[in-house]
């Protein structure tokens, strides 16, 4: 599958060391890398469909201090979609009120028919991009009915409801950013960890520092984070994802098909 990372703080911090440790995992996730640096509500996105360790562009980025309050990163092991730039995370999109959204995903949607219609309009061909389009579609519908932009809490509640539905039978480890709030969700044991320290809030698929404070993310809940603090926490749903032999066979078949087309 993939690995995901985010850093969230109340003050800009230099996080080159964390990112270098994260991207060192690219030998096992060689099909692309992505980096989202949120600066003054501007989404600065860099991504390539190559192994992070082989990217000169990424080396150039990390050769300079990367200082920010909000950073997201992704390394891809393709199980859905070709190895092309449009299939690399992060994905970004505008809603009808011109709010920018970003999403990175570690997991697979094995079955969720409401996503199918977005295959016709997505830029690439991944289930992850379809999740973002589905979320924005529902945000647009909510705000149209309301007749006004949604509040942060309204968006959080709606996304919690959508993710509960998405997570039935599917692995849905997500990081989402809407310009105000960072959303974090995991529904598979031992697949997402967090560290809260003086620098801020770090979340990653595996611990990326030697700190003793890394803890497994609480399962089956959506968390909303601003300035390094959890401000919203949803109710727990019951859709923990258990990886089975059937899932493994499905993903291996998909990976073999993708690799054969490289």
For the domain that residue 23 is a member of, what is the CATH number?
Answer: 3.60.20.10
Query: Which residues have CB under 8 Å from 161's CB, separation 6+?
Result: none
Cα torsion through 234, 236, 237, 239, rounded to 10: 120
Average pLDDT score over residue span 102-107? 96
In this prediction, residue 81 has a pLDDT band, given cuts at 50, 70 and 90, of confident
In angstroms, the CA 238 to CA 221 distance is 9
Name the strands in the sheet holding 182-186, side by side, starting at the edge strand that comes first in the sequence.
91-94, 100-108, 171-177, 182-186, 221-226, 229-233
- Per-residue pLDDT for 232 more than 60? yes
In this prediction, residue 250 has a pLDDT band, given cuts at 50, 70 and 90, of confident
Query: Which residues have CB under 8 Å from 39's CB, separation 6+?
Result: 68
pTM for the whole structure: 0.95
Average pLDDT score over residue span 128-136? 98
pLDDT (0 to 100) of residue 154: 98
pLDDT (0 to 100) of residue 247: 86
**Lowest-pLDDT range, 121-130, 217-226, 241-250?**
241-250
C-alpha to C-alpha distances, 23 to 9, 11, 138, nearest whole angstrom:
21, 23, 33
Query: Which residues have CB under 8 Å from 78's CB, separation 6+?
Result: 31, 32, 87, 255, 258
Average pLDDT score over residue span 119-135? 96
In this prediction, residue 187 has a pLDDT band, given cuts at 50, 70 and 90, of very high
In this prediction, residue 40 has a pLDDT band, given cuts at 50, 70 and 90, of low
Please count the structural domains in the chain: 1
The tokens 């919203």 sit on which residue?
Answer: 232
With CA atoms as reference, report the closest residue to 186 among 176, 199, 172, 197: 172
- Per-residue pLDDT for 44 more than 60? yes
- Per-residue pLDDT for 262 more than 60? no
Domain of 39 in residue numbering reads as: 2-260
Average pLDDT score over residue span 56-68? 97
């Amino acid at each position: 599958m993939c690995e995901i990372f985010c850093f969230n703080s109340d003050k800009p911090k230099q996080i080159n060391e964390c990112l270098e440790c994260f991207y060192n995992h690219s030998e096992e996730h060689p099909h692309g890398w992505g980096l989202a640096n949120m600066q003054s509500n501007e989404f600065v996105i860099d991504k390539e469909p190559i192994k992070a360790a082989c990217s000169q562009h990424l080396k150039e980025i990390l050769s300079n201090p990367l200082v920010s309050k909000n950073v997201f990163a992704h390394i891809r092991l393709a199980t859905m979609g070709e190895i092309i730039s449009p299939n690399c995370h992060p994905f970004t999109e505008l809603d009808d009120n011109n709010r920018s959204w970003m999403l990175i995903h570690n997991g697979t949607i094995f079955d969720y028919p409401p996503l199918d219609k977005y295959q016709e309009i997505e830029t690439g061909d991944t289930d992850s991009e379809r999740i973002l389009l589905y979320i924005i579609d529902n945000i647009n519908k909510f705000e149209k009915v309301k007749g006004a932009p949604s509040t942060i809490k309204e968006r959080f509640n709606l996304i919690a409801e959508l993710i509960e539905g998405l997570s039935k039978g599917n692995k849905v480890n997500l990081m989402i950013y809407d310009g105000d709030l960072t959303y974090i969700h995991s529904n598979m044991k031992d697949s997402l960890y967090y560290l809260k320290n003086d620098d801020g809030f770090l979340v990653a698929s595996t611990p990326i520092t030697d700190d003793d404070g890394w803890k497994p993310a609480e399962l089956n809940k959506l968390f909303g984070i601003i300035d390094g603090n959890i401000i919203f926490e949803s109710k727990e749903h019951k859709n923990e994802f258990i990886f089975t032999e059937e899932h493994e066979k499905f993903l291996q078949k998909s990976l073999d098909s993708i690799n054969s087309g490289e």
